[in-house]
């Protein structure tokens, strides 16, 4: 692990042109340019389609098991970003996990406020089940707002009586739209990518008239009982550190199997920078191992149930 790598990444992010809390159209254009500035590896294929009426982008890498699916939820503070923008990180996850990733292009705020994103996520998952893919062969992965959406979707699935996927891994989840965690203040000077003001702006866009304490908007306040095994990864140099810590605590209190990994001195969604940061590579390997292990456990349970 190189301190110079972390310093270089910090410097790069501090000078990035993106203003998460700025003008929506400009932020979307800048974010798209940043996320697509590095071409996908030549062996990665992407295919646009729809699941349950929701646009998706399927990302495939060589050697993946076609029977397994990672349902992937992109970040962007619920207002910017897209499934296509997330293809790079989703491809990295796909390759390491050994399965195709299906990126959900959920509707964005402010044009489509809460609960549009949750509704789209549930519809895409329900469509996978309707296509005959067992829940035990589906895993969720999400980053930033997509991490919070991942957990909110699991809660919505429980309320709808749908089976849970085998597991969920979330990177730097935005899980409290009231932006009330202590790290929003204590880590503000260390975080090179996000500010509390920007998150509060985007939270207002997404929430509309809904209070930030709504559990499906802020899953740190939800009843997480019955959710599948959960892996949470976060950097210590980000204002969302407390969102991850509180989410893990809530899951533990609700008897969910949960693993919290706090990576020192790295920023928001550091997993995106595996080409330049050793910690990102290690974190992605850890997330892939977790996902594969939960698939194996879920299949074993399903096979045992059939033999009873």
Nearest to 195 by CA among 205, 208, 185: 185
Q: What share of the chain is helix, strand, coil (3-state, %, to 5)?
A: 45, 15, 40
- The three-point CA angle 234-237-241 to 5° equals 45
Q: Give just the sign of the alpha carbon dihedral 278, 284, 288, 293.
A: positive
Q: Enumerate the active-site residues.
A: 144, 238, 268
Nearest to 158 by CA among 69, 81, 256: 256
Residue 93 corresponds to which tokens in the numbers above?
A: 């996850």
List alpha helices for 115-164, DSSP H: 116-130, 145-160
Residue 269: C-alpha distances to residues 7, 113, 172, 201, 303 (Å): 15, 24, 6, 20, 36
Rounded to whole angstroms, the Cα distance separating 122 from 102 reads 13
Nearest to 278 by CA among 289, 288, 264: 264
Q: What is the dihedral of CA 216, 217, 219, 223, to 10 degrees?
A: -30
Between helix 3-14 and helix 278-306 the angle, nearest 10°, is 100
Residue 233 contacts residue 271 (beta carbons within 8 Å): yes
34-50 b/e (C-beta count within 10 Å ≥ 16 → b): ebeeeeeeeebebeeee
């Amino acid at each position: 692990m190189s301190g110079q790598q972390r310093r270089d990444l910090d410097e790069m992010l501090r000078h990035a042109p993106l203003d998460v809390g700025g003008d929506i159209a400009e932020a979307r254009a800048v974010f798209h340019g940043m996320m697509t500035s590095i071409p996908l590896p030549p062996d990665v294929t992407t295919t646009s389609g729809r699941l349950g009426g929701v646009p998706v982008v399927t990302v495939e890498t060589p050697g993946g098991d076609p029977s397994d699916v990672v349902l992937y939820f992109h970040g962007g503070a619920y207002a910017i970003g897209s499934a296509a923008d997330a293809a790079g990180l989703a491809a990295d996850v796909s390759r390491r996990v050994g399965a195709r990733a299906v990126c959900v292009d959920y509707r964005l705020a402010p044009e489509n406020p809460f609960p549009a994103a949750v509704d789209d996520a549930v519809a895409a998952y329900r469509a996978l089940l309707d296509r005959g893919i067992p829940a035990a062969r589906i895993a969720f992965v999400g980053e930033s707002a997509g991490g919070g959406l991942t957990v909110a979707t699991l809660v919505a699935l429980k309320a709808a009586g749908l089976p849970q996927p085998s597991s969920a891994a979330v990177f730097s989840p935005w899980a409290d739209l009231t932006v009330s965690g202590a790290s929003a203040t204590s880590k503000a000077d260390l975080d090179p990518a996000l500010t509390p003001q920007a998150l509060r702006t985007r939270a207002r866009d997404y929430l509309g008239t809904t209070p930030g304490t709504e559990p499906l908007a802020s899953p740190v306040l939800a009843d997480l009982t019955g959710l599948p095994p959960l892996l949470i990864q976060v950097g210590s140099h980000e204002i969302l550190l407390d969102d991850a810590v509180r989410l893990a605590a809530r899951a533990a209190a609700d008897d969910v199997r949960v693993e919290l990994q706090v990576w020192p001195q790295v920023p928001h969604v550091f997993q995106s920078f595996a080409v330049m940061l050793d910690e990102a590579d290690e974190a992605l390997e850890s997330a892939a191992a977790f996902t594969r292990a939960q698939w194996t456990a879920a299949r074993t349970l399903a096979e045992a149930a059939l033999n009873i």
